[in-house]
């Protein structure tokens, strides 16, 4: 049911399916919270922009040829898009369901392609203060800890090393920049519950916990993550479980400082059907730990079984695992590669994980979210007609995202090889010069944001 106000929400309810969301809608409707009397509709049949009963219209006309832009989601993609739009003097409103932007997520690796965007947005210095620079990704044999290869990861330019950072620290820097920017309105604590497409534009209905709010816009940028409400509203197939979970935990105290002091950056231990990754964050005070493993269903994730599986792995890793706090399983989800990014009549776009949630094995999800936001803002700034934005965005981004998706699958295949294939892998890695290992990722890391620096 495209283009109609939708009761479906991934925002404030667990995803019990369409039925539960329809029940919510009926409940809100019976309480008059979603009712829009005919007399209160504007001439185009859309919602009026002023206060109507309990509806509060928040969209503000911008007076620019770009029209009014609403961004759903203040994650990495949403915040980056708003900041990049502001660089082009384009105002936007971000609608985010969380009341505060705090400790969500765990560690992230930020490769040079992502860091160049942070630099363009004047956020790199603040992020670097909370991050740790890496010179290499070390690939090690899981059981023995033997070094198989050290892939150099920095870049030749003076902007970008390779950083590891807590997602919350990165989001806080972006959010601080957003709050300082007068062209951006940040509306927290509003969960999107419905969308209407009218002749006049797109109308987003959100629920603040007390009242419904209405944001009318000419372009809706949905940066609402892997379980995107907007994709669901437009009947896109949901993200699917990728037959894997990542246990995420953190180590602090002397062990973390000692590991951070000698690590050259990111360390990955490889083994059949599973691998582990550790890297320092929070200026080296904390080590982020990820244990990725293949499972048939999210319910198969079993803490004790996972701990047992790593028992005879390298001593360094075993002691990190033994000292990790809150090891928590994250089911890994990927969006179908054929998911459309331009929805409805062309005025709704998906970006970031909402468009293309990827396996984290190439550590590029956040980087692609940042790239999407920056590239999209440039396209909007130079578009004479908003309807050309979606196709131009797809042309600019699909090829690169597909290539990253393939790379992440390749890493999964190579990292999880069983014997004897892993022996061949190890021999090839040992024989490959470091520079060549780095060159294989040149297309990814050496990417430069479009437009003038």
Ligand X SMILES: Cc1cc2nc3c(=O)[nH]c(=O)nc-3n(C[C@H](O)[C@H](O)[C@H](O)COP(=O)(O)OP(=O)(O)OC[C@H]3O[C@@H](n4cnc5c(N)ncnc54)[C@H](O)[C@@H]3O)c2cc1C
Instruction: Note the residues at the interface with ligand X (CB under 6 A).
Output: 10-11, 72-78, 95-98, 108-109, 191-192, 223-225, 229, 246, 248, 290, 330, 332, 352-353, 360, 363-367, 369
Select 312 or 402, whichever has its Cβ closest to ligand X: 402
Q: Distance of alpha carbon 108 from its chain centroid, rounded?
A: 10
Spatial neighbors of 120 by CB under 8 A, at least 6 apart, are 84, 87, 374, 449, 453
Select 74 or 85, whichever has its Cβ closest to ligand X: 74
How is residue 301 written in tokens?
């994730």
Closest contact distance (angstroms) between CB of 427 and ligand X is: 28
Select 368 or 380, whichever has its Cβ closest to ligand X: 368
Closest contact distance (angstroms) between CB of 356 and ligand X is: 9
| Other beta carbons within 10 Å of 151 | 19
Closest contact distance (angstroms) between CB of 230 and ligand X is: 8
Select 64 or 227, whichever has its Cβ closest to ligand X: 227
Select 74 or 202, whichever has its Cβ closest to ligand X: 74
Within 108-253, where are the H helices?
Answer: 112-120, 124-130, 167-180, 229-233
User: What does the alpha-carbon distance between residue 149 and residue 434 come to, in Å, rounded to a whole number?
Assistant: 8
Q: What percent helix, strand, coil does the chain show, rounded to 5?
A: 35, 25, 35
Select 100 or 144, whichever has its Cβ closest to ligand X: 100
Closest contact distance (angstroms) between CB of 23 and ligand X is: 17
Q: Distance of alpha carbon 250 from its chain centroid, rounded?
A: 20
Is 386 in contact with 85 (CB distance < 8 Å)?
no
User: What does the alpha-carbon distance between residue 307 and residue 320 come to, in Å, rounded to a whole number?
Assistant: 11
Select 104 or 428, whichever has its Cβ closest to ligand X: 104
Select 47 or 63, whichever has its Cβ closest to ligand X: 47
Closest contact distance (angstroms) between CB of 43 and ligand X is: 29
Closest contact distance (angstroms) between CB of 39 and ligand X is: 29
The residue at minimum Cβ distance from ligand X is 75
Is 173 in contact with 181 (CB distance < 8 Å)?
no
DSSP per-residue string spanning 325-381: EEEEEEEEEE--TT--SEETTTTEEE-THHHH---GGGS-HHHHHHHHHHHHHHHHH
| Segment (H or E) for 437 | helix 434-439
Closest contact distance (angstroms) between CB of 226 and ligand X is: 6
Residue with tokens 């062309």, as numbered in its chain: 346
Is 265 in contact with 135 (CB distance < 8 Å)?
yes
Closest contact distance (angstroms) between CB of 430 and ligand X is: 25
Closest contact distance (angstroms) between CB of 334 and ligand X is: 10
Select 314 or 354, whichever has its Cβ closest to ligand X: 354
Sign for the pseudo-dihedral over CA of 89, 95, 99, 105: negative
């Amino acid at each position: 049911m495209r283009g109609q106000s939708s009761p479906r929400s991934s925002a404030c309810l667990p995803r019990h399916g369409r039925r539960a969301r329809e029940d919510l809608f009926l409940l809100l409707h019976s309480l008059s919270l979603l009712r829009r009397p005919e007399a209160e509709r504007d001439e185009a049949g859309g919602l009026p922009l002023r206060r109507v009963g309990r509806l509060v219209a928040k969209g503000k006309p911008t007076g620019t040829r770009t029209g009014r832009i609403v961004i759903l989601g203040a994650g990495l993609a949403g915040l980056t898009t708003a900041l990049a739009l502001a660089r082009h003097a384009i105002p936007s409103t971000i609608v985010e369901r969380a009341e505060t932007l705090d400790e969500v997520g765990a560690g992230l690796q930020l490769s040079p392609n992502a860091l160049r965007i942070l630099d363009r947005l004047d956020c790199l210095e603040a992020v670097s203060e909370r991050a740790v620079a890496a010179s290499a990704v070390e690939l090690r044999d899981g059981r023995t800890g033997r070094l198989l290869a050290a892939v150099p990861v920095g870049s030749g330019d003076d902007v970008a090393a390779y950083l590891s950072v807590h997602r919350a620290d990165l989001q806080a820097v972006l959010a601080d920049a957003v709050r300082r920017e007068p062209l951006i309105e940040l509306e927290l604590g509003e969960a999107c519950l419905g969308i209407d497409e009218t002749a006049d534009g797109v109308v987003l209905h959100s629920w603040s916990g007390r009242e419904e709010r209405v944001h009318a816009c000419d372009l809706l940028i949905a940066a609402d993550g892997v379980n995107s409400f907007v994709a669901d509203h437009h009947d896109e197939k949901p993200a699917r479980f990728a037959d894997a979970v990542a246990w995420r935990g953190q180590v602090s105290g002397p062990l973390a400082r000692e590991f951070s002091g000698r690590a050259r950056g990111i360390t990955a231990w490889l083994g059949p059907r599973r691998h582990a990754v550790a890297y320092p964050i929070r200026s080296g005070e904390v080590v982020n730990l990820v244990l990725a493993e293949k499972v048939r269903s999210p319910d198969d994730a079993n803490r004790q079984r996972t701990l047992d599986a790593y028992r005879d792995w390298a001593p360094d890793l075993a002691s990190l695992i033994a000292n990790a706090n809150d090891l928590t399983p994250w089911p890994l989800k990927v969006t179908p590669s054929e998911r459309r990014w331009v929805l409805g009549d062309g005025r709704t776009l998906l970006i970031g994980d909402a468009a293309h949630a990827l396996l984290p094995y190439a550590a590029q999800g956040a980087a692609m979210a940042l790239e999407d936001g920056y590239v999209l803002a440039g396209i909007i700034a130079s578009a004479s007609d908003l309807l050309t934005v979606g196709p131009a965005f797809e042309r600019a981004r699909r090829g690169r995202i597909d290539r990253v998706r393939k790379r992440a699958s390749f890493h999964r295949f190579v990292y999880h090889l069983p014997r004897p294939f892993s022996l061949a892998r190890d021999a090839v890695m040992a024989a490959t010069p470091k520079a060549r290992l780095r060159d294989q990722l040149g297309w990814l890391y050496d990417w430069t944001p479009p437009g003038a620096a």
